Amino acid sequence: MAQFTKQLKKIAVYTSGGDAPGMNAALRAVVRTARGHQLEVLGILQGYIGMLEDIVKPLSVRDMANIIQRGGTILKTGRCPEFQKAEFRAKAVETLKKHEIDALVCIGGDGSFRGALSLWKEHQIPITGVPGTIDNDIFGTDLTVGFDTAVNTALFAIDKIRDTADSHDRVFIVEVMGRNSGFIATYAGLAGGAEEIFTSDGNTTVDKAVDRIREAQKNGKRSSIIITSEGQKPGRAYDLAESLRKKSGLDAKVAILGHQQRGGAPTATDRILASRMGAMAVDGLMNGVCNVMIGIEKGSLVQVPFDVATGTEKKNDPELISLSYRLAK
Interaction mask 196-235, ligand F6P, x per CB under 6 A: ----------------------------------x-----
CB 10 within 8 Å of CB 71: no
Phi, psi of 202 (to 5 degrees): 65, 40
Q: Shortest distance, CB of residue 28 to ligand ADP, whole angstroms?
A: 20
- Binding-site partner at residue 178 among ligand ADP, ligand F6P, none, CB < 5 to 8 Å by type: ligand F6P
| CA max distance for the chain | 70
The answer to whether residue 132 forms part of the interface with ligand F6P (CB under 6 A) is no
Query: Distances in Å between the alpha carbon of 142 and those of 125, 137, 148?
Result: 27, 9, 11
Q: Which of 262, 271, 278, 294 binds ligand F6P (CB under 6 A)?
A: 262
DSSP character at residue 82: G
Could you say which of ligand F6P, ligand ADP, none residue 110 binds, taking C-beta under 5 to 8 angstroms by partner kind?
ligand ADP
Q: Please identify, using beta-carbon distances, which residue of 138 and 165 lies nearer to ligand F6P.
A: 138
The residues that touch ligand ADP, with contacts defined as CB under 6 A, are 16-18, 48, 79-81, 83-84, 108-112, 114-115, 118, 133
112 interface partner picked from ligand ADP, ligand F6P, none, CB below 5 to 8 A per type: ligand ADP
| Rounded alpha-carbon distances, angstroms, from residue 290 to 22, 90, 117, 283 | 22, 19, 10, 10
Binding range to ligand F6P, per CB under 6 A, among 122-130, 133-141, 238-246, 249-257: 133-141
Q: What is the DSSP letter of 132?
A: B
**Residue of 134, 255, 280, 296 interacting with ligand F6P (CB under 6 A):** 134
Given ligand ADP, ligand F6P, none, residue 186, with its beta carbon under 5 to 8 Å by kind, binds none
Exactly one of 40, 102, 135, 196 binds ligand F6P (CB under 6 A); which one? 135
Q: Could you tell me the strand order of the sheet in which 300-305 lies?
A: 56-58, 40-44, 10-15, 103-108, 127-131, 292-297, 300-305
- Of 86-94, 173-181, 188-196, 321-329, the window that binds ligand F6P (rule: CB under 6 A) is 173-181
Question: Based on the number of CB atoms within 10 Å of its own CB, is 132 exposed (0-12), middle (13-18) or buried (19 or more)?
Answer: buried
Q: How far is the CB of 137 from ligand ADP (least distance, A)?
A: 8
The single-letter code of the amino acid at 150 is: A
- Here's the x/- map for ligand F6P, 91-120, by CB under 6 A: it reads as ------------------x-----------
Quote the least distance from Cβ 36 to ligand F6P, whole Å: 31
Backbone conformation region of residue 178, classed left if phi is above 0, alpha if psi is from -120 to 50, else beta = left
**Is 135 among the catalytic positions?**
yes
Q: How far is the CB of 53 from ligand ADP (least distance, A)?
A: 12
* Nearest Cα to Cα of residue 262 among 143, 136, 138, 146: 146
175: contact with ligand F6P by CB under 6 A: no
Between helix 110-123 and helix 86-98 the angle, nearest 10°, is 80
- Out of 19, 102, 110, 135, the active site residue is 135
DSSP-assigned letters across all residues of 259-276: GGGG-SPPPHHHHHHHHH
Q: Judged by CB, which is closer to ligand F6P: 79, or 123? A: 79
Residue 133 binds to ligand F6P (criterion: CB under 6 A): yes
Between 206-218 and 237-248, two packed helices, what is the crossing angle to 10 degrees? 60
Known catalytic residues are: 135
